């Protein structure tokens, strides 16, 4: 009996203590180390990078501040050319990925049955394998003596590797998982009985796609596009390994400015511009995701 | 248009319908085959070449050999690179699990002012490109005169990896009714007992999976390592420099095969762990953006696979 009364007595204060801690210091204590490390190792370096982009002779911060690096970066013809090419390569790859991801997510969400999980597992597995190895594997396929040139009769085709073609092919397989999953998640929320109703009302597959599937999946599609653009615009591994001089991309340009040229001013200015672009795109996607959630 | 006409009287021509059905199934199978080929075909061919008795990457295959595996395992530079990657990943993974779990608890179990800001901050490394983070880290370390070593690699990789753990663990905590914790407290459990008997059994598998994914992210990372490392090499950096050397490619194939085989097994294990608690978490791993959304506000968690709509 005594034990029971004791535990009943303990119950209330304990619970209040728990809740009180939750309201006051608890969050601070738990979040202190992860957030503190993020501030020191993530936010501060970003600020230092921004500072460097305004310093006249980085990394010497006493040399005065200037806007010259931005002026130089934005008026340099080579930069503009590379930026334009990067956007083109990323956009073509994006179009190819959407052509694959849209039917794939439709199949996963509505048709796959017990294969749905298998496909999702396959996509995650494909995404998690070493990226450098995956890109290198395309060298083996597209090379002068690669499997494609072996399959295609006649003289070996030179432009298969170390070309824009190779970069586009490789990029469009690299981010399939990132493109498919948001679209699949959006489609998963669509009521399948809508398609049945549409069929009963005489709609064909094209009308179903245009009037039901695409409008309802649109937020997922936009989110996928935006969030795959961000890594594609800064990708330098792919164009380094399978690309050539005609496919130099923005990521390579910035990497070379910093690591080879030692030009921290121009490098950090370009880097900050890319950071700003990525940040804005990410915010837009995030807003879209939120709107989508309220609608649903 | 033909489709519309067919749909008006769909049940009349049953035979035609089943033909169309079969044609559809064949079409889908072909499509999925092409996608699978694009995703895994290159790696399969790499495996083939790793066993090919020729140092030139050319078809057709010339015979079986294990020579490249022998050379790969004997290469001192490669062994050092592998040891470095392994060492870094073995530190980054547990650090990420601890930091990521703390952040997940803080963000899902507490309401406080600035929660949105903190969520966005933790989610940011998942969305922002590693190239940009790597360059910023390089400049940050230079600014405070810190020598670049494996330690700087560990530091920057950890802050880019623990948000993934936060996303995976948060997804589990969201799905888990807080009522259960409160019921345990009402029944007289101490906070430690709640942790041990209620929370840990629930998020345990996710923690295991998160550790494996954190290890894999760290091991595979090229961009951050490139900018924050000193004179050493990690495995991805070694591959990167070796693929430019035509004499080396057979060895790259062999070691890539070994690493990929190991990763297929461990990632499969991690996926199984996540699956045992519903498939929603899978999407988080497969998509950094979904992960960032989960961290920032608990949005973007898709319906668990196979759940009734």
Residue with tokens 């992860």: A34
Q: What is the mean pLDDT of chain A?
A: 84
Q: What is the pLDDT of residues A218-234, one digit of tens each?
A: 888 988 888 899 999 99
Measure in Å the smallest separation between the Cα of A77 and chain B Cα atoms: 22
Whether the predicted pLDDT of A2 surpasses 50: no
Predicted ipTM? 0.85
| Alpha-carbon gap, residue B200 to B60, rounded angstroms | 54
User: What is the reported pLDDT for B246?
Assistant: 67
User: What confidence tier does B176 reach under pLDDT thresholds 50, 70, 90?
Assistant: low
In chain A, what residues touch B302 (CB-CB under 8 Å)? 181, 184-185, 188-189
| Alpha-carbon gap, residue A130 to A211, rounded angstroms | 40
Whether the predicted pLDDT of B99 surpasses 80: yes
| Alpha-carbon gap, residue B127 to A42, rounded angstroms | 13
Question: What Rg value do the Cα atoms of chain B yield, rounded?
Answer: 24
Residue with tokens 């990420």: B96
User: What is the reported pLDDT for B271?
Assistant: 83
Note whether B140 contacts A241, CB cutoff 8 Å. Answer: no
State which H helix or E strand residue A75 sits in.
Answer: helix A68-75
Q: What is the pLDDT of residues B236-250, one digit of tens each?
A: 999 988 887 766 778
A276 touching B, CB under 8 A?
Answer: no
In chain A, what residues touch B234 (CB-CB under 8 Å)? none
Residue A107 DSSP code? I
Residue A202 DSSP code? T
Name the residue among A137, A278, A285 with its Cβ closest to that of B128.
A278
Comparing C-alpha atoms, which of A189, A223, A207 is closest to residue A98? Answer: A223
Whether the predicted pLDDT of B253 surpasses 70: yes
User: What is the reported pLDDT for A58?
Assistant: 79
In chain B, what residues touch A184 (CB-CB under 8 Å)? 283, 302
Residues 6+ apart with CB under 8 A from B252: A136, B239, B242, B243
A271 touching B, CB under 8 A?
Answer: yes
Comparing C-alpha atoms, which of A151, A148, A122 is closest to residue A137? Answer: A148
| Alpha-carbon gap, residue B103 to B112, rounded angstroms | 14
User: What confidence tier does B177 reach under pLDDT thresholds 50, 70, 90?
Assistant: low
User: What confidence tier does B2 reach under pLDDT thresholds 50, 70, 90?
Assistant: very low
Comparing C-alpha atoms, which of B90, B301, B67 is closest to residue A293? Answer: B301
User: What is the reported pLDDT for B298?
Assistant: 54
Instruction: Decide: B292 and B127 in contact? Cβ < 8 Å.
Output: yes
Note whether A131 contacts B7, CB cutoff 8 Å. Answer: no
Measure in Å the smallest separation between the Cα of A134 and chain B Cα atoms: 7
Q: Average of pLDDT values for B278-307?
A: 60
Residues 6+ apart with CB under 8 A from A210: none
| Alpha-carbon gap, residue B122 to B159, rounded angstroms | 9
Note whether B3 contacts A204, CB cutoff 8 Å. Answer: yes
A192 touching B, CB under 8 A?
Answer: yes
User: What is the reported pLDDT for B200?
Assistant: 83
| Alpha-carbon gap, residue A191 to A110, rounded angstroms | 10
User: What is the reported pLDDT for A293?
Assistant: 53
Query: pLDDT > 90: what percent of chain B?
Result: 39
Instruction: Decide: B307 and B177 in contact? Cβ < 8 Å.
Output: no
Secondary structure of chain B as H, E, C letters = CHHHHHHHCCCCCHHHHHHHHHHHHHHHHHHHHHHHHHHHHHHHHHHHHHCECCCCCCCCCCCECCHHHHHHHHCHHHHHHHHHHHHHHHHHHHHHHHHHHHHHHHHHHCCCCCHHHHHHHHHHHHHCCHHHHHHHHHHHHHHCCCCCCHHHHHHHHHHHHHHHHHHHHHHHHHHCCHHHHHHHHHCCCCHHHHHHHHHHHHHHHHHHHHHHHHHHHHHHCCHHHHHHCCCCCCHHHHHHHHCCCHHHHHHHHHHHHHHHHHHHHHHHHHHHHHHCCCCHHHHHHHCHHHHHHHHHHCCCCCCCCCCCC
User: What is the reported pLDDT for A290?
Assistant: 66
User: What confidence tier does B304 reach under pLDDT thresholds 50, 70, 90?
Assistant: very low
Q: What is the pLDDT of residues A9-67, one digit of tens each?
A: 444 444 444 444 445 566 778 888 999 999 999 999 999 999 999 988 877 777 888 89
In chain B, what residues touch A39 (CB-CB under 8 Å)? 121
Residue of B nearest to A184 (CA): B302
Residues 6+ apart with CB under 8 A from B301: B171, B174, B280, B283, B284, B290, B293, B294
User: What is the reported pLDDT for B281?
Assistant: 67
State which H helix or E strand residue A130 sits in.
Answer: none
Instruction: Decide: B44 and B36 in contact? Cβ < 8 Å.
Output: no
In chain B, what residues touch A137 (CB-CB under 8 Å)? 42-43, 45-46, 256
3-state secondary structure of A4: helix
User: What is the reported pLDDT for B280?
Assistant: 62
Instruction: Decide: A292 and A220 in contact? Cβ < 8 Å.
Output: yes
In chain B, what residues touch A278 (CB-CB under 8 Å)? 127-129, 132
Query: pLDDT > 70: what percent of chain B?
Result: 83
Residue of B nearest to A274 (CA): B132
Comparing C-alpha atoms, which of B298, B306, B301 is closest to residue B276? Answer: B306
Note whether B256 contacts A130, CB cutoff 8 Å. Answer: yes
Residue of B nearest to A180 (CA): B287
A296 touching B, CB under 8 A?
Answer: no
Q: What is the pLDDT of residues A254-287, one digit of tens each?
A: 999 999 888 888 999 999 999 999 999 888 877 7
> Which candidate in B131, B153, B168, B265 is best for mutational testing of the A interface (most A CBs within 10 A)?
B131
A204 touching B, CB under 8 A?
Answer: yes
Whether residue B60 is preceded by a cis peptide bond, meaning omega within 30 degrees of 0, is: yes
User: What is the reported pLDDT for B274?
Assistant: 79
User: What is the reported pLDDT for A210?
Assistant: 86
3-state secondary structure of A60: strand
| Alpha-carbon gap, residue A142 to A90, rounded angstroms | 20
Phi/psi for B52 (5° steps) reads -80, 135
> Which candidate in A133, A216, A255 is best for mutational testing of the B interface (most B CBs within 10 A)?
A133
Q: What is the pLDDT of residues A166-219, one digit of tens each?
A: 999 999 998 998 899 889 888 888 888 888 888 888 888 888 888 888 888 888
Whether the predicted pLDDT of A99 surpasses 90: yes
Measure in Å the smallest separation between the Cα of B128 and chain A Cα atoms: 6
The CA-CA-CA angle for residues A85, A87, A92, to 5°, reads: 95
3-state secondary structure of A273: helix
Residue with tokens 């064949």: B26
Comparing C-alpha atoms, which of B97, B46, B92, B67 is closest to residue B234? Answer: B92
Residues 6+ apart with CB under 8 A from B243: A136, A139, A241, B249, B252
Residue B62: Cβ within 10 Å count: 11
Q: Average of pLDDT values for B167-174?
A: 84
Q: What is the pLDDT of residues A106-123, one digit of tens each?
A: 999 888 888 888 888 889
User: What is the reported pLDDT for A9?
Assistant: 42
User: What is the reported pLDDT for A102?
Assistant: 94
User: What is the reported pLDDT for B222?
Assistant: 93
Name the residue among A136, A150, A182 with its Cβ closest to that of B289.
A182
| Alpha-carbon gap, residue A172 to B42, rounded angstroms | 14
Note whether B302 contacts A185, CB cutoff 8 Å. Answer: yes
Note whether B103 contacts A34, CB cutoff 8 Å. Answer: yes
Residue of B nearest to A170 (CA): B38
Measure in Å the smallest separation between the Cα of B48 and chain A Cα atoms: 11
Residue B61: Cβ within 10 Å count: 12
Residue of B nearest to A185 (CA): B302
Residues 6+ apart with CB under 8 A from B134: B156, B223, B224, B226, B227, B228
Q: What is the mean pLDDT of chain B?
A: 82
Q: What is the pLDDT of residues B61-89, one digit of tens each?
A: 777 888 888 988 888 999 999 999 999 99
Q: Which tokens go with B206?
A: 């996710």
Instruction: Decide: A105 and A218 in contact? Cβ < 8 Å.
Output: no
């Amino acid at each position: 009996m005594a034990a029971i009364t004791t535990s009943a007595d303990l119950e209330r204060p304990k619970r209040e203590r728990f809740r009180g801690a939750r309201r006051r210091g608890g969050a601070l204590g738990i979040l202190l180390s992860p957030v503190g490390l993020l501030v020191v190792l993530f936010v501060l370096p970003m600020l230092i990078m921004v500072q460097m982009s305004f310093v006249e002779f980085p990394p010497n911060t006493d040399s005065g501040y200037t806007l010259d690096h931005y002026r130089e970066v934005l008026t340099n013809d080579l930069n503009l050319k590379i930026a334009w090419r990067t956007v083109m390569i990323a956009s073509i790859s994006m179009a190819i990925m959407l052509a694959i991801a849209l039917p794939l997510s439709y199949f996963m969400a509505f048709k796959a049955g017990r294969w749905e999980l298998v496909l999702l597992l396959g996509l995650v597995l494909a995404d998690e394998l070493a990226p450098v190895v995956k890109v290198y594997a395309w060298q083996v396929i597209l090379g002068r003596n690669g499997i494609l040139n072996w399959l295609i009769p006649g003289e070996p085709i030179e432009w298969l590797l170390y070309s824009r073609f190779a970069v586009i092919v490789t990029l469009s397989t690299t981010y399939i998982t990132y493109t498919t999953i948001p679209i699949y998640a959006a489609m998963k929320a669509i009521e399948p009985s809508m398609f049945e109703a549409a069929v009963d009302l005489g709609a064909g597959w094209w009308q179903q796609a245009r009037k039901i599937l695409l409008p309802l999946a649109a937020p997922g599609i936009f989110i996928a596009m935006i969030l795959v653009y961000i890594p594609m615009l800064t990708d330098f591994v792919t164009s380094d390994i399978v690309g050539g001089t005609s496919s130099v991309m923005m990521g390579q340009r910035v990497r070379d400015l910093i690591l080879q040229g030692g030009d921290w001013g121009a490098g950090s200015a370009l880097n900050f511009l890319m950071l700003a672009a990525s940040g804005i795109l990410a915010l837009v996607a995030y807003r879209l995701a939120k709107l989508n959630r309220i609608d649903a | 248009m033909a489709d519309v006409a067919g749909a008006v009287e769909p049940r009349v021509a049953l035979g035609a319908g089943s033909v169309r059905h079969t044609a559809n199934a064949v079409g889908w199978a072909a499509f999925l085959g092409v996608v699978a080929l694009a995703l895994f075909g290159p790696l399969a061919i790499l495996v083939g070449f790793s066993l090919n008795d020729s140092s030139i990457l050319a078809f057709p295959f010339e015979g079986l050999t294990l020579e490249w595996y022998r050379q790969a395992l004997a290469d001192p530079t490669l062994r050092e690179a592998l040891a470095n990657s392994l060492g870094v990943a073995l530190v980054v993974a547990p650090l990420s699990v601890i930091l990521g779990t703390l952040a997940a608890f803080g963000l899902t179990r507490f309401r406080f002012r600035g929660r949105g800001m903190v969520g966005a901050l933790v989610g940011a490394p998942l969305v922002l490109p590693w190239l940009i983070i790597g360059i910023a880290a390089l400049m940050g370390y230079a600014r405070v005169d810190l020598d670049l070593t494996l330690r700087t690699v560990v530091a920057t990789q950890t802050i880019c990896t623990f948000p993934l753990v936060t996303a995976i663990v948060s997804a589990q905590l969201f799905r888990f009714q807080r009522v259960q914790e409160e019921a345990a407290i009402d029944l007289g459990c101490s906070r430690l007992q709640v942790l041990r008997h209620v929370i840990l059994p629930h998020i345990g598998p996710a923690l295991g999976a998160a550790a494996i994914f954190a290890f894999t992210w760290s091991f595979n990372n090229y961009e951050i390592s490139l900018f924050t490392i000193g004179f050493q090499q990690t495995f991805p950096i070694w591959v990167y420099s070796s693929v430019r050397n035509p004499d080396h490619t057979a060895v790259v194939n062999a070691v890539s095969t070994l690493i990929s085989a190991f990763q297929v097994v461990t990632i499969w294990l991690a996926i199984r762990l996540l699956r045992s608690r519903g498939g929603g978490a899978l999407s988080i791993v497969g998509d950094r953006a979904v992960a960032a959304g989960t961290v920032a506000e608990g949005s973007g968690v898709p319906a668990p696979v196979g759940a009734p709509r």
